[in-house]
Amino acid sequence: MDRHPEIKRFIGMVGNIPQQKQWRELLQTTLNHHRNRDTFGIEPITKLRDSLGLSEDVFSALYTGMFCLIGQMIRNHTRKGTVPLETALAEELQPLALPEKYAKELISGFTHYEKSLTSSAYAHIPHHPSIEQFRWRTEVTISTSSVNRILKPSILIELRLTNGRKQLLSLNMNQFHHLRYIVAVLLKQMADIENDELINRDVKILPGVTEIV
C-alpha cells in the first residue's frame, strides 16, 4: 500500500493538516464520496477545499491520496478474514507511519461505514450477465431431403440472461459431451481454489496494484 504513488505522495503531505478537525473533514468527505459515487458532486469537494484553506496542488494530492487509500482498504478487506477488522487495518496502516490520532479516526470511520463502502464498490465493478433461466430439450432428426432415415439426436438449449437477452444453442452429441467436460473441469478448478490454503489465508493485496475501486 505504501508503494502506491498517490498514497505515498499523500503521506508526505499529511503534515499540511495540523488540526484533527481538518483531518476529520477530509476523511468524512472522502468516505461519503466512496459511499455515494452515483450522486456525489463537485460541491462537497469544493466546500472542503475552501474549508481547509490549502493550495490547489496540496489539496488535490491530499484528496486523491485519501481516496486511493480508502479504495485500497476496501479491496484488501472485501474478503472476510479471521482477524478482526480493526486489528487488520491497524497492521496494514502501520507502515504508512500516520499520526496515531489520524490512524485511529481512519480505522474508526472505515469500520463504521464498512458495509456501505463495500456495497458501493461492488456495485461499480463491471459484471457480466448471469443466467436467469435455463431450458433444454432433445431433438432427433429423422430424415433429410437427401437421406431417408438418420435418427440423429441433438440438444437445444435456451438461456435467458439477466440483461434480458436470450441465447439459443444447438449442440450435437459430441459438442454436448465436450461442454460437459469443460464445465466439469471448471467446477474442479473452482473447488481446488476454494480449498487452497494460500487463497483462504487473510493475505493482503500486492503493493504494486494501483487501480482505484
The string of pLDDT tens digits covering residues 170-206 is 998 899 999 999 999 999 998 888 777 665 554 444 3
Residues 153 and 116 in one domain: no
Domain assignment present for 163? yes
Quick one: 108 and 166 in the same domain? no
Residue 163 belongs to domain spanning: 131-197
Give the count of domains, the chain.
Answer: 2
Write out the chain's pLDDT in tens, 213 residues. Answer: 556 788 888 888 888 887 889 999 999 999 999 999 888 888 999 999 999 888 888 999 999 999 999 988 888 876 555 678 888 888 888 888 888 899 999 999 999 988 889 888 887 777 788 889 999 998 887 766 666 666 788 899 999 998 889 999 999 889 999 999 999 999 999 888 877 766 555 444 434 434 433
What is the pLDDT at residue 162?
A: 87
Residue 186 CB contacts under 8 Å (≥ 6 apart), including other chains: none
Integer Cα distance of 181 and 129 in angstroms: 23
Instruction: Please report whether residue 83 resides in a domain.
Output: yes
Task: Verify that 101 and 183 share a domain, yes or no.
Answer: no
By the 8 A CB rule, do 89 and 69 touch? no
Cell numbers standing for residue 179: 461442454
Residue 207, in any domain of the structure: no
Global pTM exceeds 0.85: no
9 and 30 together in one domain: yes
The DSSP call for residue 23 is H
Residue 113 lies in a domain: yes
